[in-house]
C-alpha cells in the first residue's frame, strides 16, 4: 500500500529543503518498509515509502515520465485492481510502459486523460501527481476513502501526506486543536468528511481530487452515490450480489506477495475466505488468521455489539474450507502497554484496547503474510449493525450508533464547557449529514429514513472503521484489502430496498441467501458480533489506576479538560460509558488524550 508525502511552495526553492522532505517521508516508513525515495524540483518535492505487492522488482517511486523540463512525477499509495485492463487500453493509445506496476498505469493514465483518469480506476488509492509543464499538483483519493490523504495549505504553499505525522514533520505546520477538533477527539464517528482534528489540516475527501496551481486550490468531486428506483426482484438481486462478490474477490486476489485472510467466524470474513479458498489459481490452502483473548471463555460478557465468542465459529469455517489457520491469542493486561504505539500510528487519540488488539493481531499476521482480506464494509452496505433493525420511521436527531448516550458534556471541565458544547455539535453534524443525502422523489417515509441511515453509515461510521484498520495495519507494514468496499458493490446496494436486504427478517438476509451454499448453516445464520475487546479484570484495573494517576498529576494536560468528579465516579464504578451500543470506554481514551497532548505538544485553543 505504501505511504506518500510532499511539499509544494511557489516562493522557495525546495531543492534546498531535502532534509525536511526526507524527514516527512521517513515518518511513512512503517507504511512502506521495502523501499523509499524523494524527488525535488524548484517548487515541488515528493516522497514515497513502498510496500512491494505488485511488480516487486519494478515500480520504484517517486516515478517520473518526460524530460527534465516537463516531468510528470507520481507518488502513489494503494492498489488499482483493473490495472491490467487499463494498461492494454493505454498501449492501444500509444502509451509505452517500462514496468509491470499499477503505479505506472496511473502515471500513463494521467498523461493520456489528465485529471479525468481517476474515474477509470477500480481500486483503493491516494496519490499525488506533479506536472512540471503545467505547474500543477493533483491529489486524488479513492471513492470510499479506504486510503487516507491529508494536506495543509499555507500562504504560498501546501504540505501533504498519507498520515498527519508527515505534515507534522514539517516545521511550517503548528499542531493546534480548536473546538471543532476537540469534538472529533471526544466523540466517535461524528467527523465531517474532510476534517482532520488539527487546525489547518484537511483530508482529501473520498471521491474527490484536489488540484493546486499558482492561481489557487480547487476541489472536484468525481464520484457520488446516486439514488434511483431498484427494479430487480429478490431472486435477481441475490444473484447479482453473488456475481459482484465473485468478481471483486477475484480481482483483489492479485498479489506477488504472501496472501491470507482475516477470519472472525462471522458472516463477512467467512464469505471472503470461502470465495478466496475456491480460487482455481491458488497455490495451496488459504492462510487464515483470527484473534482471541486469553481466558475469554470465562471473561466474555455479551452486550449489544458482542453477541457470542468467535472461536467456535472460526473452527467451523476452518474445518469446512480446509484453510491453514493461525489463532492469535492476546493477553488483555498487556493492552495498556501498547496504547502508545497505536497513538503514534493514529496521530490522534483512538479507541483504546480496540486499537491495540487489532494492531497486535496485524503484528502477528505480518510475520506470515503481506496482504490479507478483511470483511470491513459489509455491515455498512447490507445493514448489519443492530441500529438498522432498531430504527424508527420517525425522524431522528442524532447518529444511530449514539442511541442512549447521555450528556456528553458531563466529562468536560467547567472551563472547557464554556467553549465547547458536544451535545449541540453532534446534533448539528447529524443535521449536516442529512442535508447531503441524495433523495429519491416519491420514496416512502420508511424508505427515506432507511436511506438516511445508510448514508450516515457510509459517510461517517465507515470512515471511522476504515481509518482504524488502515492505521493499525500500516503500522505493521500489512496491506488489508476490503472487497466489500468496492464502489460497484456499494453503488448497487445503495438502491436495494431494506425489504430485500432484510429478507428472512434477519440482518444481512440478502447476503446470507447469496452465499448460503458456501458455508456451514450456523455460520451463515450467526448474528453479528463485534471485534473482540479486553474484558480481563487485570486490564480494567490497570486502566483505572492509570486514570487515578492522571487525576493526581498536576502537570497532566488532559486533567484540565476533564471534569474530575465525573472521571473519578467512572473509575470507582463499572459505568465507563453509557449508550445502548457500548461506545468505546471513556477511561482508556482519557489516558490516550493525556499522552497525545504531551507527546505531540498540542496547543489547545478552543
pLDDT value at residue 302: 57
CA 238/CA 157 separation, integer angstroms: 50
Query: According to DSSP H, which parts of 335-461 are helical?
Result: 339-346, 353-365, 378-382, 386-389, 414-417, 422-436, 445-456
Report the alpha-carbon distance of residue 433 to residue 400 in Å, rounded: 12
Q: What is the pLDDT of residues 198-252, one digit of tens each?
A: 999 999 999 999 999 999 999 999 999 999 999 999 999 999 999 999 999 999 9
Q: What is the pLDDT of residues 56-109, one digit of tens each?
A: 667 789 999 877 667 899 999 999 999 999 999 999 999 999 999 999 999 999
Residues of the chain with pLDDT under 50: 578-583
Supply the pLDDT for residue 375: 97
At 44, list the grid cell.
515541488
* Residue with grid cell 490516550, as numbered in its chain: 592
DSSP string for 309-344 = -SHHHHHHHHHHHT-EEEEEEE-GGGGGGGHHHHHH
Q: Judging by DSSP bridges, how do beta strands 259-262 and 287-293 pair with one another?
A: parallel
Residue carrying the nine cell digits 488468521 = 289
Q: Can you give the pTM of this predicted structure?
A: 0.94
Amino acid at each position: 500500500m505504501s505511504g506518500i508525502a510532499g511539499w509544494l511552495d511557489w516562493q522557495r526553492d525546495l531543492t534546498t529543503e531535502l532534509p525536511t522532505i526526507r524527514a516527512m517521508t521517513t515518518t511513512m516508513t512503517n507504511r512502506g518498509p521495502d523501499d523509499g525515495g524523494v524527488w525535488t524540483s524548484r517548487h515541488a518535492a515528493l516522497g514515497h515509502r513502498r510496500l512491494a505487492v505488485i511488480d516487486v522488482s519494478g515500480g520504484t517511486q517517486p516515478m517520473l515520465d518526460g524530460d527534465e523540463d516537463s516531468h510528470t512525477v507520481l507518488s502513489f499509495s494503494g492498489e488499482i485492481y483493473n490495472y491490467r485492463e487499463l494498461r492494454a487500453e493505454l498501449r492501444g493509445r500509444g502509451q509505452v510502459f517500462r514496468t509491470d506496476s499499477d503505479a505506472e498505469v496511473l502515471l500513463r493514465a494521467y498523461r493520456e486523460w489528465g485529471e479525468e483518469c481517476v474515474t477509470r480506476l477500480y481500486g483503493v488509492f491516494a496519490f499525488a501527481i506533479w506536472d512540471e509543464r503545467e505547474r500543477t499538483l493533483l491529489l486524488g483519493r479513492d471513492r470510499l476513502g479506504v486510503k487516507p490523504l491529508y494536506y495543509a495549505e499555507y500562504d504560498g504553499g501546501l504540505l501533504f501526506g498519507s498520515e498527519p505525522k508527515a505534515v507534522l514533520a514539517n516545521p511550517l505546520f503548528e499542531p493546534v486543536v480548536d473546538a471543532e477538533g476537540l469534538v472529533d477527539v471526544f466523540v466517535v464517528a461524528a467527523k465531517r468528511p474532510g476534517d482532520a482534528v488539527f487546525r489547518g489540516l484537511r483530508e482529501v475527501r473520498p471521491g474527490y481530487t484536489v488540484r493546486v496551481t499558482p492561481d489557487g486550490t480547487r476541489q472536484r468531486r468525481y464520484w457520488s452515490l446516486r439514488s434511483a428506483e431498484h427494479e430487480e426482484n429478490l431472486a435477481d438481486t441475490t444473484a447479482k450480489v453473488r456475481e459482484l462478490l465473485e468478481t471483486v474477490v477475484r480481482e483483489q486476489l492479485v498479489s506477488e506477495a504472501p496472501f491470507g485472510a482475516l477470519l472472525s467466524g462471522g458472516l463477512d470474513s467467512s464469505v471472503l475466505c470461502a470465495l478466496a479458498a475456491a480460487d482455481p489459481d491458488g497455490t495451496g490452502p488459504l492462510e487464515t488468521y483470527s484473534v482471541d483473548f486469553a481466558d475469554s471463555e470465562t471473561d466474555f460478557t455479551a452486550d449489544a455489539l458482542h453477541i457470542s465468542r468467535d472461536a467456535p465459529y472460526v473452527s467451523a469455517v476452518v474445518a469446512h474450507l480446509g484453510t491453514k489457520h493461525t489463532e492469535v491469542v492476546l493477553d488483555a493486561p498487556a493492552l495498556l502497554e501498547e496504547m502508545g504505539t497505536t497513538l503514534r500510528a493514529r496521530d490522534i487519540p483512538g479507541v483504546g484496547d480496540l486499537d491495540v488488539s487489532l494492531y497486535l493481531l496485524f503484528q502477528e499476521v505480518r510475520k506470515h503474510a503481506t496482504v490479507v482480506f478483511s470483511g470491513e464494509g459489509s455491515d455498512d452496505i447490507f445493514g448489519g449493525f443492530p441500529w438498522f433493525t432498531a430504527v424508527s420511521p420517525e425522524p431522528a436527531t442524532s447518529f444511530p450508533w449514539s442511541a442512549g448516550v447521555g450528556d456528553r458534556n458531563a466529562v468536560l471541565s467547567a472551563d472547557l464547557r464554556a467553549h465547547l458544547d458536544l451535545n449541540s455539535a453532534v446534533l448539528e453534524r447529524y443535521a449536516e449529514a442529512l442535508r447531503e443525502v441524495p433523495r429519491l422523489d416519491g420514496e416512502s417515509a420508511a424508505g427515506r429514513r432507511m436511506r438516511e441511515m445508510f448514508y450516515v453509515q457510509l459517510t461517517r461510521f465507515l470512515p471511522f472503521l476504515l481509518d482504524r484498520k488502515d492505521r493499525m495495519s500500516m503500522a505493521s507494514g500489512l496491506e488489508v484489502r476490503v472487497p466489500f468496499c468496492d464502489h460497484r458493490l456499494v453503488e448497487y446496494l445503495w438502491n436495494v430496498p431494506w425489504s430485500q436486504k432484510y429478507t428472512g427478517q434477519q440482518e444481512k438476509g440478502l447476503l446470507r441467501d447469496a452465499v448460503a451454499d458456501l458455508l456451514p448453516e450456523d455460520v451463515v445464520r450467526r448474528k453479528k458480533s463485534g471485534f473482540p475487546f479486553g474484558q480481563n479484570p487485570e486490564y480494567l484495573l490497570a486502566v483505572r489506576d492509570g486514570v487515578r494517576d492522571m487525576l493526581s498529576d498536576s502537570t497532566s494536560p488532559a486533567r484540565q479538560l476533564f471534569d474530575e468528579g465525573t472521571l473519578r465516579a467512572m473509575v470507582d464504578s463499572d459505568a465507563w460509558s453509557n449508550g445502548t451500543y457500548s461506545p468505546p470506554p471513556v477511561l482508556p481514551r482519557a489516558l490516550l488524550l493525556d499522552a497525545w497532548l504531551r507527546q505531540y505538544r498540542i496547543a489547545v485553543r478552543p
